[in-house]
Amino acid sequence: MLDIDNTVLVVIDVQGKLAQSMHEKADLFENVAKLIKAAGVLEIPIVWTEQYPEGLGPTIPEIAELLPGEAISKVAFSCCGEKRFVEAMEELGRNQVLLCGIETHVCVYQTAIDLLATAYEVEVVADAVSSRAPDNKAIGLAKMQAAGAAITSVETSLFELLEVAGGEKFKAILQIVK
């Protein structure tokens, strides 16, 4: 089970033209936005990355405007290939990671594998990741699950973090997921 005090949200590379070429991109953008908004309500830290922004462009505006701080720029497919990402994760001292972003079978997959190898618990939010081709998304999810990552959804993860149906945070999350 995800623990609100031990979880970090990682948003991977929702950028430029690549983001616009994702399968079911409208659902992807909506679900990533829900996770970011909910993380704010639940006071869960967010670490976010951009893959070679000079070439792929910045994070799309509708997502970037919701994110705190600055993106961690990277060239490695795995976020763990960037020293600043590893340092940010270590500074947070949390060992449960919710992953969302693109592409499922490349950057999300390689990040999940590297995080699992360094003793993080990884949950991939299946309705908040995508690839250009649905088959590649399915392959990425299957490979991550086979390696030990849990596959979850936006609502499953958020209600798991909440634990109870009551209070102001619960009401705020209900408004986000509607």
Q: What is the pLDDT of residues 56-107, one digit of tens each?
A: 999 999 999 999 999 999 999 999 999 999 999 999 999 999 999 999 999 9
Domain of 66, in residue numbers:
7-177
pLDDT value of position 100: 98
Question: Does 144 map to a domain?
Answer: yes
Please provide the average confidence, as pLDDT, over all residues in the chain: 97
CATH number at residue 37: 3.40.50.850
Domain total in the chain: 1
Measured CA to CA in angstroms, residue 138 lies from 38, 68, 159 at distances of 26, 30, 24
Evaluate if pTM is beyond 0.95: yes
Question: Does 2 map to a domain?
Answer: no
Tokens of 164: 């109870």
- Amino acid at residue number 16: G
pLDDT value of position 138: 98
Catalytic residue list: 13, 74, 107
Question: Does 1 map to a domain?
Answer: no
Residues of the chain predicted below pLDDT 50: none
